[in-house]
Amino acid sequence: MIPKIRVGILMHGIFYGGASRSLIQLLKILKNEERFEFIVYTTSISSLKVKKELEKYCVSIKKVKLKIITANQASVSSIKTFKKSKNVGLINFINQLKHDEINLLHINTTVFSHILKPITDLTNIKIIVHVRELLPEYGKTLIGDYIIEQIKFYSDFIICISENEAERFADYERKVILPNPIDFNEIDSTIGNFRAQNNINKETIIITMSSHFYKPKGHILFLDALKILLEKYNLKNILFLIVGYKQHNLFLRKYIKKILMMSDYLSEIKNKIKNEGLTNFVKLIPYTYDIYEIIKDSDIIVRPALTADPWGRDVIEGMAMKKPIVATGNSTFFIKPEITGYLVSPNANELANKIKDLIKDKSKRELFGLNGRKTIENICNSINYSKQLINIYDTISE
């Protein structure tokens, strides 16, 4: 009997976001590879539904106490946070890995770079780092430089989800660009019933953005573009969907932040919608695992990130479902301008202009959508993904 390779996958949270969705696809693809056993480690679980889905494809899910250190589009940890967080829970986690007889640790993010050296020093476990975040250019931040250096020095292999993340590791040989996989069977079997459930007529053009609720994602920019479409272009038969706010404990969170005199971003969004007369043209939707049903009934997908990073789960899922994309940034790894969508700067007028162009031209929406599907079928092919991932596992486990 060929001995099994026990793979630990470390997450910084199980939730509705793209990282969890991509991990599910990864594990699903490798489900029939009996040589591998997977144990998922996570620092938090905020969605029991996602946890239940993950449990179908792994031996177990274990919660661990580790702190994260960030340097990406969303935030950069302070030196104080770094020093305070560096060793929290580390020895216990290493002991857990030894107890579980882990052969290979697949770290599904860059936020645990501080644990790489101790694991390398104290165990024989091989390490893969899956780079999903766009790290700062070298020399921009001390924390960013530290993360890049640790990943380079103590990883046995690096997986980058696009050429953009790979730029930070240009001089590192043992890496591969491996875009997140798509389950096209699941995509194609999705029935769009969002319009019917919400009494939205077929003539209404639905423009959707899906993301976490924090400012760099560009919700305000999205709403500014809507206002321009309504006032400058007099487009009324449109609906902007914003998907992704956390539904639970909203009132408690709002109360606590009020006491601490902190702004509540969701309240800021709601106030803007109300004060600028956008109520009839915007629908806020909480995090949902069933995002495909919403995408299916959408006409245009928009990624208005202030960080100008036109790639992510929202982009590839929209393209896979034959939707034209309008996104901020200049990377053409996924979105080919005038072919699968539009790329613009984080500017409300530019964003509104391209959305208007697609609203008025159904044939262009359909053509961009078909081209996008072909692109994703080629780039996010699960068979190719499986072969490359298995080869990586086998190579570093030898």
pLDDT at 8: 98
308 with 328: CB under 8 angstroms?
yes
Place 1 in a pLDDT band, splitting at 50, 70 and 90.
low
pLDDT at 261: 43
Distance in angstroms (rounded) separating the CA atoms of residues 149 and 147:
6
pLDDT at 74: 73
Q: In which order are the strands placed within the sheet that holds 157-160?
A: 60-63, 36-42, 5-11, 104-107, 126-131, 157-160, 175-177
378 with 316: CB under 8 angstroms?
no
138 with 160: CB under 8 angstroms?
no
Closest CA relative to residue 36, chosen from 112, 114, 104: 104
Distance in angstroms (rounded) separating the CA atoms of residues 313 and 20:
10
169 with 160: CB under 8 angstroms?
yes
Q: How far is residue 93 from each of residues 16, 64, 116, 129, measured CA to CA in Å?
A: 25, 7, 12, 17
Closest CA relative to residue 128, chosen from 109, 111, 144, 114: 109
Contacts of 188 (CB under 8 A, 6+ apart): none
143 with 71: CB under 8 angstroms?
yes
More confident residue, 392 or 192: 392
Share of the chain above pLDDT 90, in %: 85
Average pLDDT over every residue of 349-361:
98
pLDDT at 2: 66
Q: Are strands 36-42 and 5-11 parallel, antiparallel or unpaired?
A: parallel
Flag whether pLDDT at 250 surpasses 70. Answer: no
158 with 175: CB under 8 angstroms?
yes
Flag whether pLDDT at 249 surpasses 80. Answer: no
Distance of CA 97 to the CA centre of its chain: 26
pLDDT at 135: 95
pLDDT at 259: 46
Average pLDDT over every residue of 252-272:
68
Neighbours of 41 (CB within 10 A): 24
Flag whether pLDDT at 263 surpasses 60. Answer: no
43 φ, ψ to 5°? -85, -15
Flag whether pLDDT at 248 surpasses 70. Answer: no
| 84: its two tokens | 């305070």
Residue with tokens 């340097």: 71
The pLDDT tens digits of the residues spanning 60-116 come to 999 999 999 999 877 889 988 888 888 999 999 999 999 999 999 999 999 999 999
- Domains in the chain with CATH codes: 5-180+381-397 (3.40.50.2000), 185-378 (3.40.50.2000)
Q: What is the DSSP letter of 17?
A: S
What is this structure's pTM? 0.92
Closest CA relative to residue 354, chosen from 223, 229, 218, 238: 229
Neighbours of 312 (CB within 10 A): 24
300 with 323: CB under 8 angstroms?
yes
Distance in angstroms (rounded) separating the CA atoms of residues 180 and 2:
29
pLDDT at 289: 79
